[in-house]
Amino acid sequence: MISGGGHRRPMAEINVTPLVDVVLVLLIIFMVTAPFLQGGLQIDLPKVASKGLDVHEGLIVSIRRDLTLAVGNSVVPSRDLEDALSRANAAKRPVFLKADQSVPYGTIVETIARLRRAGVEKLGLVTEPPAKGH
């Protein structure tokens, strides 16, 4: 790579191997940590045998044992549910309702009605599979 005048020309190629290595490591870290980002609120879900849902693409609305509401991982007062749903853009994506099994049925139905009034069209109910042998 020496030209006639004895000067070195700059190398015009970029070695992308270290870049690929870094990207692959970041991808692996993301894949390992992503399942842990979904948790947060402790809810004892009812045990029902059903086909599983992929809740990663939607918004999770939770009703805890003490009847507090959460949109995503943020606890919101009951009176502010519609505002929180609007801020989370719930009308344009699937919403999954998680309710503790001790929550009265009337409270769940009232929450579903409020979700519908807020513009939620795609609504799923989240349950846990029953223990083996039941």
Specify if 51 maps to a domain.
yes
Specify if 104 maps to a domain.
yes
Structure confidence at residue 93 as a pLDDT band (50, 70, 90): confident
Specify if 71 maps to a domain.
yes
Q: Tell me the residue range of the domain where 62 lies.
A: 41-125
Question: pTM for this one?
Answer: 0.57
Residue 58: give its domain's CATH number: 3.30.420.270
What confidence tens digit (pLDDT) does each residue in 21-57 have? Answer: 999 999 998 888 876 665 555 555 556 555 555 556 7
Instruction: Count structural domains, the chain.
Output: 1
Cβ atoms < 10 Å from Cβ of 88: 19
Cα angle, residue 99 at apex, residues 69 and 41 outer, rounded to 5° = 60
